[in-house]
Each structure stands twice: as structure tokens, then as C-alpha cells.
Amino acid sequence: MIPDFQTIMLPFLELLSDGKEHELQTLIKQIADKFELTDEERKELLPSGTQVVIYNRVVWAKTYLKKANLLSSPKRAIIIITEHGKKVLQNKPPKIDIKFLQSLPDFKEWQTSYQTNYQNRKDDDQQSQVNTDIESGKTPEELLEDSFVKLKDELAAELIDKIKSCSPAFFEKLVIDLLIKMGYGGSRKEAGQIIGKSGDGGIDGIIKEDKLGLDTIYVQAKKWDNTVPIGQIRDFAGSLLSKKAKKGIFISTSNYPKGAYDFVSSIEPKIILIDGKEMAGLMIEYQVGIAIKNNYEIKKIDIDYFEEA
């Protein structure tokens, strides 16, 4: 199990106890070894997929320890313990976490300065945020990404409910818009002329795989409240076989039984099943039927800018 960033603080400082300079990447590997992380855990990413979890947590542990003046970074990606850090280790603390750091003058001074910069926030909100950081054990980036995932899941649920209340004709239009945004179907005019028109043997339409039309994809797009019967998938597969088609997409507002996934993985042609949740996720990703309310940017120092020639 990947330790939280507060659990990492003490062993991270102990790795520096020899007083020598250490490379950050080497320290991250040593922390991963100490906690016996598996290969999968060492590669696990944050929800955004932008950073490895163990890297993120070690870096935040380093950041908090640095604010407490327990370590320093004399040059890029190089870490060394301070005299104050050595004294802390000499007292053999059973644990170093945010509560422990709050007892240290340098950390308290930094925290006071940080809060002063945000005086527009209420004192109880500040304390609530500190308590959240302490209790969750998650880094600030993880807390932010958790909030983003929660908002995305709520939006996806709202999208599914809204789609189910729309007419079948509108659902077909939505499928056209989504597939085109994803790069399929050629032009919208071409796709609109063929989706939802044939009704031929369980096939709702045919689209181009790319704008050049090098291959075709058969589409079945159905609104469904309950789990899609596997018989519907078998009928669609049979229709594809009768046309010697190689690829098909079955997209629905509902979900599919496990047997449906087992079935499509064992046959030719290739059939992709898109359920309501995945469809909503694709709509969010490709901005179909949604509007952007706010944009937030996470910025960091450009180290290269400060490199002297």
C-alpha cells in the first residue's frame, strides 16, 4: 500500500541523517523500497494521469519538511538535512506529521505567513482546511484531484439522466455529434445522412472510421433504462457477420451484463460496447452537450528559467 505523504516524512528525513547530499529520484526509490511497494504501486498515477502517486507524495513530504527547516535543497533535485533536522532526529520522534511540524517555530512562521496572504478566508475555513489536510493524509494536489473527480462523476450522472429524458431522435443526433468530435464519420452532413436511417437487421447506421473513409464502422445506438439484454448484442454481431463487417459500436444509455463483454471479446468482428457512464465521460472529454464554467491552472516554478548561464 502506498503510504500517505505524512507517513513518509520521518523515514524521508532518516534517509538524510548521514548529512550527505542526496538525489531526489534516489530518495523516492529508497522510500518505495522501504515500504515494499509493488511494481504496480510504483507506477500508479494520480486521477489526472499527470504524475506518479509515490513521486507526488514524496515531493510534498519534502516540501513540508523544508518549510519546517528540517532539510534544504542547495541545488536542483538535491536534498540535504539541516542542523535543525539532525536535532529533531536526535530526539527520536515516533512520528513526524503536520501536527508535529506545527510545534516547530519555522513551520509555524511559514504557516502564519501563508494564512496572512489569504486574509479574505475566514479563520474557521482556514482551520478546517488544515484539519482536512491532517486527517486525510492526502497531498494538496490529491485533494484537488479528488474534488475534480467527484465533480466529474456528478456531471456524468446528470448527463445520463438528461439523455434518458430526451427523444430517440435527439439521442441519435447526440451520438452523431460525439462520434464526429472523436474523429469518426467524416463530415457532419455525411454522418447525419446515414446514422439512424438504415434500421437494417439491428444496425442503426454506418460511419466512416476516418475522414478518408478507409474503413467503415457499423453503429447501434439505443436508449435503454435497464441492463441491455445480451440477445441485443448477439443480434448486432449477427448483422455484422452477414455484411462481412469488421467493426461495430454498440452505444447505450444503460449498462451491459458481464456476459456481453465476454461474448464480444471472443468473436470477430470487433465490437466495442459503450455504456451510459462511458458515453457521459466521452461527452465531457470531447465537450459535447456541456459548457465550461471555470478553468483553474496549477502553476509551478520554471526551474530552467532560473538556471544561470
Which whole number is the average pLDDT over 280-300? 85
From the list 250, 227, 224, 254, the residue with the least C-alpha distance to 239 is 250
Lowest mean pLDDT among 63-72, 191-200, 214-223: 191-200
Give pLDDT, residue 9: 97
**How many alpha carbons lie under 13 Å from residue 102 in its C-beta half-sphere?**
10
All structural domains of the chain: 5-138 (1.10.10), 164-285 (3.40.1350.10)
Give pLDDT, residue 195: 58
Give pLDDT, residue 306: 67
Which whole number is the average pLDDT over 153-164? 90
What confidence tens digit (pLDDT) does each residue in 227-239 have? 999 999 999 999 8
| Percent residues over pLDDT 70 in the chain | 83
DSSP per residue over the chain, as a string? -PPPHHHHHHHHHHHTTT---EEHHHHHHHHHHHTT--HHHHH-B-TTSSSBHHHHHHHHHHHHHHHTTSEEEEETTEEEE-HHHHHHHHT--S---HHHHTTSHHHHHHHHHHHHTTTTS-HHHHHHHHHHHHHH---HHHHHHHHHHHHHHHHHHHHHHHHHTS-HHHHHHHHHHHHHHTT-SSSHHHHHHHTTT--BTTB-EEEESSTT-SSEEEEEEE--SSPPPHHHHHHHHHHHHHTT--EEEEEESS---HHHHHHHHTSSSEEEEE-HHHHHHHHHHTTSS-------------GGGG---
**How many alpha carbons lie under 13 Å from residue 37 in its C-beta half-sphere?**
22
Query: Could you give the angle at the alpha carbon of 207 between the alpha carbons of 203 and 211, nearest 5°?
Result: 170
Other CB atoms within a 10 A radius of the CB of residue 227 amount to: 13
Confidence of residue 264 (pLDDT cuts 50, 70, 90): very high
Which whole number is the average pLDDT over 172-193? 76
pLDDT exceeds cutoff 80 at 179: yes
Q: Which amino acid is at 304?
A: D
pLDDT exceeds cutoff 60 at 194: no
Lowest mean pLDDT among 59-63, 106-110, 114-118, 157-161: 114-118
Confidence of residue 120 (pLDDT cuts 50, 70, 90): very low
Please state whether the peptide bond connecting residue 269 to the residue before it is cis, i.e. omega within 30 degrees of 0.
Answer: yes
Lowest mean pLDDT among 33-42, 56-65, 145-154: 145-154
From the list 253, 48, 258, the residue with the least C-alpha distance to 156 is 253
Give pLDDT, residue 119: 47
- Highest mean pLDDT of the ranges 6-10, 110-114, 198-202: 6-10
Q: What is the mean pLDDT of the chain?
A: 84
